Structure 1
Amino acid sequence: MEKNKKIFKEAEKLIKDFGSDAHNGLSEEGVKRNREKYGKNEITPSEKVPVWKQFLEHFKDPTIIILCICALVSTAIGIYQGEFPWDGIGIFIAIIIATGVGFWSEYKADKAFETLKEDNENIDVKVIRDGSLKVISTKELVVGDIIELENGDKIPADAVVLNCIDLLVDESLMTGESVPVEKGPDNTKLIGGTMVVTGSARAVVTNVGDNMEMGSILRSLADQTQEQTPLQYKLAKLAGLISVVGTVAAVLIFFALFANSVLTGNFGVLSNSVKTGTVVFLAAIAVITGVLLIKGNKKIKRIATVLGPLIAAIGLLYVAFAIGKPADAIESAKSILDFFIVAVTIIVVAVPEGLPMAVTISLALSMRKIRRDNNLVRKMLATETIGSVNVICSDKTGTLTKNQMQVREVYFNGKHFDSSNFNELTQNPMFEVIKILLAANSTANVTKDKDGNIEIVGNTTEGAMLTWLNELGVNFNTILDIRENMPVYDRLSFNADRKMMSTVTGLENSDLFNFNENKDKDSQTIKSCKVVLAKGAPERILSLCTGVSIGDKIESFEKHKDDINNKLLGLSDKAMRTIALAYKVVAEDEVLDKDSIEKDLVFAGLLGITDPVREDVPHAINVAKEAGINVIMVTGDNVNTARAIAREINLLEEDSIVMEGSEFKEKSDEEILSILKKLRVLARATPSDKERLVSLIQRTKEVVAVTGDGTNDAPALKKADVGISMGLKGTDVAKEASDIVLTDDNFGSIVKAVHWGRTLYENVQKFLQFQLTINVSALAIAFLSPILEMIFPSANFQTIPLTVLQLLWINLVMDTLAALALGLEPPRDGIMKEKPKRREESFLTKNMSFSILTTGLYFTVFILLLQAFDFMGASKLGDKGTSSVLFTTYVFMQLFNLLNSRSLKPGASIFENLTKSKSFMAIFTVIVVVQVIITQFGGAFFNTQALPLYMWGKIILVSSLTLVVGALVRWSQKLFIKN
């Protein structure tokens, strides 16, 4: 803000109280003093739940509670019988490990999100310190700092305006009123956390951190938790279905074990009629319980889960004591408890508690990976949604191009100049006018970084103009002097609808602007005057011009209109962004209102500014096309410039449609929808055009991402499925409205985010395929084994083929370690050659279902045959030989199936990117090592014994057949499944 701009009275006293200066700001000593006195600009978050309480939260699950109770009873019985309670202690340890690993994974994911949230809240602010303009973090701001604000900025703390131009502030977050509030001498108060809608201002900070007016509101916003994403919601429903199936299966297994015990005489010697009656009784209770579990509400399901087995247990105990007369009542009760523990363990195994964790892990990882690719994810929802995007509506400047604006050609005073003869322009009398037009009608600032290098702060187009002047010998200090010495009487700020900016200033004694149509008639020279300086989109500026500066005269605009338009077309055809400059001179005492400021302008010239295309954008556009993603360039540039850039980045095809905003407005929704698939460029588009385009795309059920950098882009960013704001040149309003912030403003980073989003979706599918395969086989084995033992008593079927501790270890492998291994899988190259997922597409694909059922069936049949025929010779190894071989073989089969689960499609190799997946290999190795330790040294704890080397060879050999089965399954998918 200019030195001669009057400071509002209210601010003068505050500046003095805070030991600051309106023009030079605080000194370094003043900053330290005020930070100690008034505090830091940080919002203190609410007290978090202690870590130990977070851990205990995992024990609230009903099945875990029941398992803990069973473990206590089992431990008590073991102690009563004078034995070491291996089962009870083992269950406790398994529960702690399973819940502990899940807690740790969620804790790390929460920490990763907190880091992202902290980075997102740490925005930049322009501040005056020691007489220099600096860009600092909001956290470094202190009371007494002099800050500069402009269109789109978020006000970083409570402040009072020193002076301002056309300042409107959105205070809806505080007041709920959507209409922006005008600020000026009578209303100087600024509320931290609100947004500058238009205009510019200099202000002094009055309160920071918790002392701000919105401190409590901002604190609550900082503590907001993330909403459940659509993917998590979809998986939660699937998990609920699996839980019901698992619980019903557990109840059936419970009754099957009871029936087996009755028929095999474990509850005493019973007559055939009693055995038959007991089995019928158990079957009736089982059917009733199953129906209640499937059809009942949550309350009925909970009651049935406990009451069904309890009634059966009471009935069986009656048979045991009243009729069977067992020798040891404690042994009978312990058998019932064992059956109940097995049933509860089956529920634990079947219920996919690892599914939400797999999503959390994948989301947290993807957020971190996307961040490394210059995408700051503000909302977890966007991490998954970006992978399903069908259409990307992208800005041009800074996103498809480098945002390194350079003035390449100019047209001034009726003459054309380029880089080869710019020096001639400096000799032209009109050059002094150019200096004023570019320096005074600008809000861009010049500052120095820590190394002393010059940096432009503010609008990049204005920065290019100032840099160009500097290259022509007008150093930045001179530019600032011009601006400081010219008072600003009024200013109409640039916005996307106006497409121009005007400043009313004054010159005390200058002939520079004494051009008028009557000069050759010896008209009187104006010495002291007001000057209106204007710049903006050519079609906007030219429509307001009535004269043209030619030589030292002002001639009729109509006379030169065709020549100017031809020059404009030539610059546009070269993919240049064109800026028109104009002015108007009036008497010093003439009153200009906002309606008359920009009328009857004099055309001064055109600037041709180039912004080179980013090197990786053409490749990124091709990748997007291969991925089935339509890219639409939405730009404020004219149609010729936009078309030229579109060709350069390979966006246009033979049937592509390029449209201007005016034509877009005129067409009906139905007309636009009919050409939407072919629309590739929307030029001279306004933010309202962009918002309408997003709405029309969504009407076709497409998932749309949109980029934006301006305040007026906020509605479109919020409307889109994924809003992507620009981190370098985007306003704070745009960033607040977005889901992802591009820290490098590069379109290529968006495509990388899509890649990670698709990887996230696929990784969760991999985990689900792995988990459900174990669910199917584990439930089938546990249910069929006791039934087959009753049918074939001479065979070697086990009543409980896998013990409780063995099942819990399998559950740990399945739910936690597999979630980590598959959730951390790297992106697959081929995934970007597939079409995006449809909104209504089922998460569980036909290929996945086929693989789950066929592989699960194979596991079930193999383990049952291994029990029946003992073809591996396990029974020859000792009492626990069969249990050891059965358990270890099943775990190794699942390990090899973990490899199979890396492929979801018939043509995909399970070894693709395996060497790059370090986490997968590490977890695979950990499972192998731990399984060997459990088998060799588990003893009474895991009901295992040490196996000889040859048996390990057999186990690995037969388990590796899982890979062959997986290959056959994928081959069969090609034959039997049509996607």
Structure 2
Amino acid sequence: MPKTRNDKNDQQSSSRRKIKSDPKEGKPKEEGVVTLNNKNNNFNSTPKNLEEKVHLLIERKQKTLHKKEKIASKKESKSGSGQQMIQALDVYTASSSSTEECVAKLRADPENGLSQAEATRRLGFSGYNEFEVKKSESLLGKYFEQFKNPLICLLLSSAIVSTVMKQFDDALSITVAVMIVVTVGFVQEYRSEKTLEKLNRLVPPTAHCIRDGKSVTFYAKELVPGDLVLLNTGDRVPADVRILESIQLQIDESSFTGENEARYKHSNLIPANSRTPHVNGIIVNGHCNIECDGGIEHLDNIAFMGTLVCSGRGKGVVIGTGANSKFGEVFQLMQSEESPKTPLQNSMDQLGKQLSFYSLGVIGLIFFIGLIQGRPAMDMFTIGVSLAVAAIPEGLPIVVAVTLAIGVMRMGNRNAVVKKLSAVETLGCVTVICSDKTGTLTKNMMTACVVIAADDCQAEVTGTGYDPSDGDCRLQNGELVSGSERHPSIACVIEIGCICNNAQLANGTVIGQPTEGALMVLAMKTNIDNLCNNIRRLHEIPFTSDSKWMAVQVEQLNKPGEVETLVKGAIDRILDICIGYLENGNIKMLMTREKYDQIIQTASGLGQSGLRVIGMARGSDMRSLYYAGLVGILDPPRPGCRQSIEIVQSAGVSVKMVTGDGLETATSIGIRLGLHKQNDNCLSGPQIDDLKDSELEQLIQSVTIFYRASPRHKLRIVKALQNIGEVVAMTGDGVNDAVALKKSDIGVAMGESGTDVCKEAADMVLINDDFSTIKAAIEEGKGIYHNITNFVKFQLSTSVAALSLIAISTIFHFENPLNAMQILWINIIMDGPPAQSLGVENVDADIIKQPPRNVREPLINRSLIISIISSAAIIISGTLFVFYKEMAADNKITPRDTTMTFTCFVLFDMWNALSCRSSRKMIWEIGLFGNRMFCLALVGSLLCQLAVIYFKPLQHIFQTEALTIFDLLFLLLLSSTVFFFNETKKFIQLQRQRRNLQRKHSTSDCNCLGEACLGTQTI
């Protein structure tokens, strides 16, 4: 069984499982098993019984294909040519078949195409070339779906009980809260449910075909297998097409395969034996699917639906439409995957269950005590139910909705569009970020960064992308390269790259090959592009996957008759056709072995650092070429991306790269970004195919880079991480990322470079494609959960205190310290502005440094329960102390007694709310006036309380009387005890955390010193 390996060993053959037959035993044996860098992971090779199955499956696969062809041909001969059903061809079968065989299998005409009548007949069998989205339930059904939330159910039950007990004010307030939350959730879900329908945007509305011998244009959905399609620059490929003819045809498959270099397409067959069969680990209809290591990115005679023709033209026959295309496979995967509930949704569900349990506990306890005291059972039951209903925080769902909505607004100001409210908080508990490379971690803009001439003169190129004004080209001594006179050797290399080039620049974008676009921008930065205006191209030998070079024969307009040949391509192929090299750009020197080895060594060094090396040569003809130099080109990392990765890693979030690129390119970018170290493990797509789910789950945490990954591989990676308890964020920009984006806990799509399907499958879209925005979203997510926790702490501590006062008085036949109107006023404070304003507390600047929260831990955990009980105990003790102190004077309850008690409780609430603004920092650290809305709410509540005490009409309603200034000062001092208690507790916790952190750092320093003494290299 293949394992992960050192990133230096990028030998594709060693990653494949070679199966040979043992003549003695008749069983297959394995070769080329790759070992792990991690010495602790010692897995054995595949069990024998599985080896036998693989061997038999491969043989059966080949036999089945022949049988199917024979059966199909027999059916055709029986049914007659006029009534046959033409089946779509698998891309691997079509790729390994000649053009004549493909045309024959599809009964197509390579010259005249299908007749309109035949196309109509086939359309009846194959169906339209489009994707059918599953019928969703009605709007009314979606609306009622929102009521399945346990917390919503609990609130509705409370409203019903309140109505039965004629507590209509409580019933009305709870019902209004429920309707607001349910409506907000319904609208948000309805807006984000169009995921699969957007897939059709990548399918072009029209296709250019040949039917009845004529070139026609019609809706792409009417394409059928066997249609003859014409492909031109700028076209979206309308279906899976087997290329029959191509003229410099290049297709951009970056959104599909992850490779940012356009692929040259040809019509030659690709032998099936050039790809090693392997089991892909996916069971389909009870059978193990066998595929090839080559992958679709190596099928250069197939054009895939949804990809873009960036240059050249071609003709091909349709082999697959709709769901039978490779694009259709992605569609089917998306349909089969359900987006998981967010951690916040799970926490709210769990909170609803907890509150239900506690409510039943309160009812049962009071009912039991009443029975012991011999009181009427119905009276005690009524009291218990009333207290339980009052304890349920009906304001919580509104606070959560408001807090999330504000988070969405904040993220919008930071260039991120959030499609689901609950998705904002999810990033706060993410433990792993799986990021696509091309277009996400990198800019997907090939950029020349170094030029080395044959005489070893070297120049560095600054700037990124396709903007010539961004950066320049300078020699190692800092001298600017401009024109061809002062720096002939460097100018010679740039000139060849500019002339031997078919790319065009338009408004900062490239039409053609990205590599050629980078060379064109380099020429513009050095003012050498003007030389192209004095050149007339006579002949061109296009680049092919076999030759790996391109040549042009040109004539200078000011020197008629003087013909020159310019060549660019892979450095080893260029050197093989050169007889010498150029000194100073024009002095011809014979090639020596030492010079050859030096050039190869230089190019190899650039290649190992992740650069794409392009060699340049020129001469009078192809038989007298002289090597001029090379250009190193890179898809540069996004600015600030490395710093953002370091910050999220320091917060306990692991970042893994998942890309369709090869190992060398992936590891070089990973090292540049700081997410991959020299001895970290890497895993390829074919290796993932050969691993069981359980084996992948054991390996996955030690792997930092997944390369040659298809959509199916990305999906397995996300599932494996989720199975071991990780909260996964997936970022991407292409069709190949869509399935994993939907399955992940939160999908993040790129707004500028992302495809429509990618954006629709995601929960959040980064408008500026900046990875650092994810860091901001993590901050926001942690801050939102922090605020929700603070609200719950405040509301439950106030509820417990108020209800305990009533319960104690009722159970032990004490006089009730608060009347009905006063209790109602306290309930308004609990759910009103002071409580709501806790949800909009500003996010702490250093909250990103906090580790991700444990999603398995309930919202009401042990620490929160202790905090709630301790605060409630202080409030109860202080309030009862005031009540009995005032009542002791005349041994009866007067308006003054209830006013003092009532005001004391309200002031306790205000101080408690102030301390609940942050559970981590002292009040002077977050700023006394840092939350403007809270300050306004607090002042407004205090003014209202003073009105209740001193305003005559309200005195009559609330049964209060005026208090002296000394009474208020006494109550302020007494009630502040809850604030100072909580602040002291926070101070002690902070000191303990700082000591632990210092102890951890000192231990780490000692370990590093020990390693240094032992000579251990720490990476």
Task: Identify the TM-score tier after normalising by the shorter chain.
Answer: 0.5 to 0.7
- Indicate yes or no: 2:779 matched with 1:758: no
Q: What is the aligned partner in structure 2 of residue 547 from structure 1? A: 577
Q: CA deviation at 1:901?
A: 1.9
CA change 1:340–1:930 in 2 (3 A) is: farther
User: How far apart, in 2, do the equivalents of 1:350 and 1:95 lie?
Assistant: 13
Matched ranges for 1:578-593 at <5 A: 578-580=612-614
Q: Deviations over 1:149-189 (max 9, x none)?
A: 999x99999xxx9x98669999xxxxx9999999xxxx999
Equivalent residue letter for 2:789: Q
User: How far apart, in 1, do the equivalents of 2:236 and 2:514 lie?
Assistant: 19
> Contact 1:726 / 1:745 at 8 angstroms: preserved in 2?
yes
Name which of 399, 405, 408 aligns with 1:358: 399
> Contact 2:237 / 2:309 at 8 angstroms: preserved in 1?
no
- Indicate yes or no: 2:602 matched with 1:567: yes
Q: TM-score, normalized by length of structure 2? A: 0.57
Q: CA deviation at 1:857?
A: 2.0
Q: What is the aligned partner in structure 2 of residue 268 from structure 1? A: none
Q: CA deviation at 1:755?
A: 1.4
Matched ranges for 1:181-330 at <5 A: 195-196=306-307, 228-250=341-363, 253=366, 280=374, 282=376, 312-313=377-378
> Contact 2:310 / 2:511 at 8 angstroms: preserved in 1?
no
- Indicate yes or no: 2:749 matched with 1:725: yes
Name which of 624, 636, 644 aligns with 1:620: 644
> Contact 1:577 / 1:608 at 8 angstroms: preserved in 2?
yes
User: How far apart, in 2, do the equivalents of 1:692 and 1:426 lie?
Assistant: 53
User: How far apart, in 2, do the equivalents of 1:705 and 1:110 lie?
Assistant: 24
| SS of structure 2 residue aligned to 1:902 | coil
Q: CA deviation at 1:61?
A: 1.6
Q: CA deviation at 1:387?
A: 1.6
Q: What is the aligned partner in structure 1 of residue 318 from structure 2? A: none
Q: What is the aligned partner in structure 1 of residue 871 from structure 2? A: 855
- Indicate yes or no: 2:848 matched with 1:832: yes
Equivalent residue letter for 1:447: A
Q: CA deviation at 1:672?
A: 10
CA change 1:859–1:52 in 2 (3 A) is: same
User: How far apart, in 2, do the equivalents of 1:364 and 1:156 lie?
Assistant: 40
Q: CA deviation at 1:750?
A: 2.0
Name which of 802, 808, 818 aligns with 1:801: 818
| SS of structure 2 residue aligned to 1:61 | helix
- Indicate yes or no: 2:502 matched with 1:447: no
CA change 1:580–1:782 in 2 (3 A) is: same
Equivalent residue letter for 2:792: L
Equivalent residue letter for 1:356: P
Q: Deviations over 1:922-963 (max 9, x none)?
A: 333343344444554674995433533534444433322221
User: How far apart, in 2, do the equivalents of 1:149 and 1:634 lie?
Assistant: 32
User: How far apart, in 1, do the equivalents of 2:448 and 2:775 lie?
Assistant: 30
Q: CA deviation at 1:754?
A: 1.6
Q: What is the aligned partner in structure 1 of residue 72 from structure 2? A: none
User: How far apart, in 1, do the equivalents of 2:250 and 2:431 lie?
Assistant: 42
User: How far apart, in 2, do the equivalents of 1:693 and 1:914 lie?
Assistant: 46
Q: CA deviation at 1:353?
A: 3.2
Q: CA deviation at 1:897?
A: 1.1
Q: What is the aligned partner in structure 1 of residue 805 from structure 2? A: 781
Q: CA deviation at 1:579?
A: 3.9
Q: CA deviation at 1:785?
A: 0.3
User: How far apart, in 2, do the equivalents of 1:232 and 1:245 lie?
Assistant: 20
CA change 1:482–1:925 in 2 (3 A) is: farther
CA change 1:883–1:246 in 2 (3 A) is: farther
User: How far apart, in 2, do the equivalents of 1:178 and 1:378 lie?
Assistant: 38
Q: Deviations over 1:265-287 (max 9, x none)?
A: xxxxxxxxxxx9xx5373xxxxx
Q: What is the aligned partner in structure 1 of residue 764 from structure 2? A: 740
| SS of structure 2 residue aligned to 1:409 | strand
> Contact 2:404 / 2:784 at 8 angstroms: preserved in 1?
yes
Equivalent residue letter for 1:63: S
> Contact 1:249 / 1:783 at 8 angstroms: preserved in 2?
no
Q: CA deviation at 1:105?
A: 6.7
CA change 1:56–1:379 in 2 (3 A) is: closer
User: How far apart, in 1, do the equivalents of 2:916 and 2:443 lie?
Assistant: 42
Q: TM-score, normalized by length of structure 1? A: 0.59
> Contact 1:821 / 1:923 at 8 angstroms: preserved in 2?
yes
Equivalent residue letter for 2:156: D
- Indicate yes or no: 2:747 matched with 1:687: no
> Contact 1:797 / 1:868 at 8 angstroms: preserved in 2?
no
Name which of 825, 832, 839 aligns with 1:823: 839
Q: Give the CA RMSD over aligned residues.
A: 6.9
- Indicate yes or no: 2:159 matched with 1:64: yes
Q: What is the aligned partner in structure 2 of residue 922 from structure 1? A: 936
Q: Deviations over 1:331-379 (max 9, x none)?
A: xxxxx7xx88765542332223333333333333333323332333345
> Contact 2:658 / 2:714 at 8 angstroms: preserved in 1?
yes
| SS of structure 2 residue aligned to 1:423 | coil
Q: What is the aligned partner in structure 1 of residue 907 from structure 2? A: 892
CA change 1:774–1:676 in 2 (3 A) is: same
Equivalent residue letter for 1:801: L
How many aligned residue pairs are there? 756
User: How far apart, in 1, do the equivalents of 2:112 and 2:542 lie?
Assistant: 18
> Contact 2:791 / 2:836 at 8 angstroms: preserved in 1?
no
Choose 968-977 or 846-855, whichever is displaced more.
Answer: 968-977
Q: Deviations over 1:9-63 (max 9, x none)?
A: 999x9xxxxxxxxxxxxxxxxxxxxxxxxxxxxxx99997799999999998232
Q: Deviations over 1:241-289 (max 9, x none)?
A: 2223224424655787x88xxxxxxxxxxxxxxxx9xx5373xxxxxxx
Matched ranges for 1:336-375 at <5 A: 343-375=384-416
Q: What is the aligned partner in structure 1 of residue 611 from structure 2? A: 577
Equivalent residue letter for 2:678: I
Q: CA deviation at 1:197?
A: 8.7
> Contact 1:102 / 1:816 at 8 angstroms: preserved in 2?
no
CA change 1:386–1:603 in 2 (3 A) is: farther
Q: Deviations over 1:882-929 (max 9, x none)?
A: 444433332331221112223334x65476244332232233334334
| SS of structure 2 residue aligned to 1:371 | helix
CA change 1:412–1:45 in 2 (3 A) is: farther
User: How far apart, in 1, do the equivalents of 2:497 and 2:803 lie?
Assistant: 82
Choose 700-709 or 775-784, whichever is displaced more.
Answer: 700-709
User: How far apart, in 2, do the equivalents of 1:406 and 1:949 lie?
Assistant: 77
Give 5+ residue unaligned stretches, structure 2. 1-110, 117-134, 205-218, 221-229, 257-284, 315-326, 460-472, 474-479, 997-1019
> Contact 2:435 / 2:657 at 8 angstroms: preserved in 1?
yes
- Indicate yes or no: 2:1006 matched with 1:965: no
Q: CA deviation at 1:822?
A: 2.3
Give 5+ residue unaligned stretches, structure 1. 1-7, 14-43, 72-90, 129-142, 171-175, 204-213, 260-275, 283-311, 314-335, 449-453, 493-500, 513-524, 536-540, 588-600, 790-795
Q: Deviations over 1:813-843 (max 9, x none)?
A: 3345465322222212342333332343444
User: How far apart, in 1, do the equivalents of 2:409 and 2:696 lie?
Assistant: 38
User: How far apart, in 2, do the equivalents of 1:921 and 1:505 lie?
Assistant: 71
Q: Deviations over 1:729-750 (max 9, x none)?
A: 3444544554433333333222
- Indicate yes or no: 2:476 matched with 1:435: no
